[in-house]
Amino acid sequence: MSAAEIPGWAHTYSGKVRDLYRPEDGDTGVLLVVASDRVSAFDHVLEPGIPGKGELLTSLSRWWFDHLPVPNHLIEPQRLPVEVERRAMLVRSLDMFPIECVVRGYLSGSGWAEYQQSQSVCGIGLPAGLTSGDRLPVPIFTPAFKAPMGEHDENITFARMIEIVGADAASELRTLSLDIFQRASTIAESKGVILADTKFEFGRDTDGVIRLADEVLTSDSSRYWDQEAWVAGVRGQSFDKQIVRDWLSAHWDGTGTPPPLPDEIVERTSARYAELLDRFTGA
Ligand code: ATP
Ligand code: MG
């Protein structure tokens, strides 16, 4: 699943999930971010892709950008090439901070793993006796250093983040992340969905303004749980790609190339993504 040819646009970069393009006319301030159907887990891109995923995640990102009153990277109006219209966003090319701004409202994933070792996450001490899936007393900001392509992102302390981006940017990013998380959680709960954790990325524009970038609050960057199920005590039943992670954990020892995903897993994941979008947009 390689990057599409788009007349007028030069392909410049492919991440695990998205392909980036610049206009061929040389406008360096503009970027076209195209979400593919690729799915990644444990930092590996898997085969096959999930049909419709690029579109669903782009719709969900857009919905959230519309509902969050913070500066973002979208360029309006969105004049998009027809070839990729439904899975692309036209954005300002920002000077990105090399930080994944993770906020956790619940204990899960790498946060749960770290907690079991140290009763803390990214240097933030937590109460004793918590278990996987528990709600934290307050949401916490747990940054990760964005590793270069092919390497694992690394959880870091806030002190380390200050060394990387400076004290002013670090505290601004933390405040922004926690505010957006709080707002998004309230909106999600009104839809019967728990936002367990998420990751934001920010960059600075040419005027020095910090803008929310990348994808936002998608099921690739967030853990969403059904609220009713959580209240009933069900843990780990999520709208995100947990289905893929669980299947892979049970069928792959982590060495060599991951096995192809069975049709049934692909279909269930696709349906789950669609259901989440439906919860938010009612579309
Ligand atoms: P990596 O970034 O290491 O390639 P990834 O697999 O997360 O990992 P993708 O998410 O597929 O990559 O690609 C999107 C890329 O575009 C990310 O590197 C992200 O930081 C970058 N990006 C998102 N928004 C902007 C923006 N407005 N300006 C510049 N870069 C951006
Ligand atoms: Mg990414």
Q: What's the complex ipTM?
A: 0.94
Ligand with the closest atom to the CA of 145: 1
CA–CA separation, 88 vs 3, rounded Å? 12
pLDDT at 1: 62
How many C-beta neighbours within 10 Å does residue 158 have?
15
Cα 97 to ligand 1 centre (Å) = 11
**Cα(40)–Cα(60) distance, integer angstroms:** 18
- What span, in angstroms and rounded, lies between the C-alpha atoms of 175 and 101? 10
Give, for ligand 1, the residue of 1, 2, 17, 18 to mutate: max count of ligand atoms closer than 8 Å to Cβ.
Answer: 18
Ligand 1 neighbourhood includes 104 CB (under 6 angstroms): no
For Cα atoms 142, 99, 15, give the angle at the middle one, nearest 5 degrees: 120
CA of 165 to the centre of ligand 2 (A): 19
Select from 237, 221, 219, 232 the least CA-distant residue to 279: 219
Picking from 39, 42, 48, the residue whose alpha carbon sits closest to that of residue 16 is 39
Which numeric CATH code is attached to 9-94+255-281?
Answer: 3.30.200.20
Q: Give the C-alpha distances (Å, rounded to integers) separating 125 from 100, 103, 118, 129.
A: 20, 15, 8, 12
How far lies 47's CA from each of 8, 103, 244, 266, in Å? Answer: 29, 29, 11, 10
pLDDT at 27: 87
Q: Identify the residue whose C-alpha is closest to ligand 1 atom 25.
A: 214
Per-residue pLDDT at 38 = 96
> Is the CB of 220 within 6 Å of ligand 1?
no
Looking at residue 151, its pLDDT comes to 78
Residue 209 dihedral angles phi and psi, to the nearest 5°: -75, 135
Residue-level pLDDT, tens digit, the chain, 283 residues: 678 899 999 999 999 999 999 999 988 899 999 999 999 998 899 999 999 999 999 999 999 999 999 999 999 999 999 999 999 999 999 999 999 999 999 999 999 999 999 999 999 999 999 999 999 999 999 999 998 777 788 999 999 999 999 999 999 999 999 999 999 999 999 999 999 999 999 999 999 999 999 999 999 999 999 999 999 998 877 887 889 999 999 999 999 999 999 999 999 999 999 999 999 998 5
Q: SS3 of 154, please?
A: strand
CA distance 163 to 28: 29
Q: Write down the H helix ranges in the chain.
A: 53-67, 109-118, 158-165, 167-189, 227-231, 242-251, 263-281
Q: If you measure from the C-alpha of residue 118 to the centroid of ligand 2, how many angstroms do you get, rounded to a whole number?
A: 28
Residue 27 carries which DSSP code? -
CB distance 179 to 266 below 8 Å: no
Identify the pLDDT of residue 77: 94
Model pLDDT, residue 125: 97
Q: Whose CA is nearest to atom 20 of ligand 1?
A: 214
Ligand 2 center–CA 47 separation, angstroms? 18
CATH fold, domain 95-231, is: D-amino Acid Aminotransferase; Chain A, domain 1 (3.30.470)
Looking only at the bridges linking them, the beta strands covering 193-204 and 95-96 are antiparallel
Q: How far is the CA of 75 from the centre of ligand 1 (A)?
A: 17
pLDDT at 148: 79
Domain boundaries, the chain: 9-94+255-281, 95-231
